[in-house]
């Protein structure tokens, strides 16, 4: 069943949903969670697989064809590959991807590929074991790299992207090693500017290592050439001039891409968010559990999406950081 496309009040068509399947995580990345973790949602508060599939089905009928499963750490949700298979089977879902910290990929990569996940983003912030530990508070780099290697054996999963958060006074030392990694492996490394979604609300603009700085640093050693920009892509992609590999720069702070934003988010407890930095959320779980019909649920979604924020105000005077962290929103 095809419905009217989903559109916001600024004329943007929505084509992409990020679904957080859990707020829990087995890492404690400095920029995302406090060392002691967060008060987790109760099991009953989290959407069931059937509820997620219903919402994704409704969204897909409205033209939201790209679905990314994230968290928290999606692979810690019990039977996650079964959920992935359910979502892959939803009519209208054309692209199913997963963002993971990679810790459980050795265990789950095969099941996820078989389930129909075709694109994987694996977060790795450092290629040095001690610095990886410093940032994630887990001594897990060797296991993550083994997971990546295992994932790379499945041709269906390519290209694999690696995401590193770019933080001043940490990431500078990682830039060239990551560029070399991108040149000698099949992975596209992407640097994401550190955003004010940290648990400690300690973010300041000067802690962001910008995409422009990273580009200059890499270009000085390994010359880069820009690739044409794909519509709605958050990343500016560069290939190495000698043809060996690619680097992506995601610059939400220094070069916001809001004008072109086609995405919405669903939290693990069933709230619709129209921007990473939204201060308002729309509860979809309560009406669903009260037996709302699809027609009415569609109306609730349309009304919320109509009010999608024109742009974020990160770095501007008066910016208010959302109370939820990236882990609780679903990055």
Backbone angles phi, psi at 295, to 5 degrees: -60, -40
Q: Which position among 6, 19, 21, 29 is part of the footprint of ligand SF4 (CB under 6 A)?
A: 29
- 22 near ligand SAM, rule: CB under 6 A: no
Backbone angles phi, psi at 265, to 5 degrees: -135, 150
Q: Which position among 8, 18, 46, 71 is part of the footprint of ligand SF4 (CB under 6 A)?
A: 71
CA distance 236 to 153: 27
Burial of residue 279 (CB within 10 Å: 0-12, 13-18, 19+) is exposed
CB of 95: closest distance to ligand SF4 in angstroms? 21
Q: What is the DSSP letter of 310?
A: S
Alpha carbon 321 to its chain's center: 18
CB of 102: closest distance to ligand SF4 in angstroms? 9
- 25 near ligand SAM, rule: CB under 6 A: yes
User: Which residues, 267 to 326, sit near ligand SF4 by CB under 6 A?
Assistant: 326
Q: Which position among 17, 19, 21, 32 is part of the footprint of ligand SAM (CB under 6 A)?
A: 32
Answer with the entry of ligand SAM, ligand SF4, none that 100 interacts with (C-beta below 5 to 8 A by kind): ligand SAM
CA distance 125 to 170: 9
Q: Which stretch binds ligand SAM (CB under 6 A): 3-11, 77-85, 94-102, 314-322?
A: 94-102
Q: Which position among 22, 30, 97, 99 is part of the footprint of ligand SAM (CB under 6 A)?
A: 99
The per-residue b/e assignment along 114-129, b for 16 or more CB within 10 angstroms, e otherwise, is ebbbbbbbbbbbbbee
- 30 near ligand SAM, rule: CB under 6 A: no
Q: Would you say 71 or 322 has its CB closer to ligand SF4?
A: 71
Residue 100 has, within 13 A of its CA and on its CB side, a CA count of: 26
Backbone angles phi, psi at 149, to 5 degrees: -60, -40
Residue 152 pairs in a beta bridge with none
Answer with the entry of ligand SF4, ligand SAM, none that 28 interacts with (C-beta below 5 to 8 A by kind): ligand SF4
Q: Which position among 22, 30, 97, 101 is part of the footprint of ligand SAM (CB under 6 A)?
A: 101
- 195 near ligand SAM, rule: CB under 6 A: yes
Q: Which position among 8, 22, 69, 70 is part of the footprint of ligand SAM (CB under 6 A)?
A: 70
CA distance 194 to 205: 9
Q: Would you say 291 or 323 has its CB closer to ligand SAM?
A: 323
Residue nearest to ligand SAM (CB): 331
Task: For tokens 């959920």, name the residue.
Answer: 83
Quick check: 247 and 189 in contact, CB under 8 A? yes
Strands 263-266 and 271-273: antiparallel
Size of the site for ligand SAM (CB under 6 A): 20
Residue 180: closest CA among 193, 192, 162: 162
CA distance 129 to 250: 24
- 141 near ligand SF4, rule: CB under 6 A: no
Q: Would you say 126 or 327 has its CB closer to ligand SAM?
A: 327
CB of 100: closest distance to ligand SAM in angstroms? 5
CA distance 306 to 276: 16
User: Torsion angle of alpha carbons 176, 177, 180, 185, nearest 10°?
Assistant: -150
Q: Would you say 238 or 277 has its CB closer to ligand SF4?
A: 277
Task: State the residues that interact with ligand SAM by CB under 6 A.
Answer: 25, 31-32, 70-71, 73, 99-101, 123, 163, 165, 192, 194-195, 197-198, 326-327, 331
Task: State the residues that interact with ligand SF4 by CB under 6 A.
Answer: 25, 27-29, 32-33, 71-73, 101, 123, 326-327
């Amino acid at each position: 069943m095809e419905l009217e496309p989903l559109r916001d009040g600024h004329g943007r068509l929505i084509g992409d949903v990020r679904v957080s399947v859990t707020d829990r995580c087995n890492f404690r990345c400095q920029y995302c969670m406090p060392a002691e973790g967060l008060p987790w949602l109760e099991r009953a508060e989290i959407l069931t697989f059937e509820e997620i599939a219903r919402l994704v089905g409704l969204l897909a009928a409205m033209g939201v064809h790209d679905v990314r499963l994230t968290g928290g750490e999606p692979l810690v949700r019990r039977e996650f590959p079964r959920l992935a298979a359910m979502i892959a089977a939803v009519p209208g879902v054309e692209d199913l991807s997963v963002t993971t910290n990679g810790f459980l990929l050795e265990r789950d990569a095969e099941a996820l590929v078989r389930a129909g996940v075709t694109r994987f983003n694996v977060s790795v912030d450092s290629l040095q074991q001690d610095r990886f530990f410093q940032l994630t508070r887990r001594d897990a780099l060797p296991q993550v790299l083994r997971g990546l290697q295992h994932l790379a054996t499945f041709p269906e999963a390519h290209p694999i992207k690696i995401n590193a958060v770019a933080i001043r006074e940490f990431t500078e030392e990682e830039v060239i090693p990551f560029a070399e990694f991108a040149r000698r492996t099949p992975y596209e490394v992407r640097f994401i500017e550190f955003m004010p979604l940290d648990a400690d609300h300690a973010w300041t603009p000067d802690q962001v290592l910008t995409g422009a700085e990273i580009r200059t640093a890499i270009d000085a050693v390994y010359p880069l050439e820009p690739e044409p920009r794909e519509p709605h892509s958050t990343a500016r992609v560069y290939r190495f001039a000698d043809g060996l590999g690619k680097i992506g720069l995601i610059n939400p702070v220094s070069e916001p891409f809001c004008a072109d934003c086609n995405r919405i988010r669903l939290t693990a407890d069933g709230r619709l968010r129209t921007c990473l930095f939204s201060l308002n959320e729309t509860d979809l779980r309560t009406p669903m559990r009260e037996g709302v019909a699809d027609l009415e649920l569609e109306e609730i979604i349309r009304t919320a999406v109509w009010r999608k924020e024109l742009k974020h105000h990160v770095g501007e005077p008066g910016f208010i950081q959302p109370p939820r962290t990236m882990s609780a929103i679903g990055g």
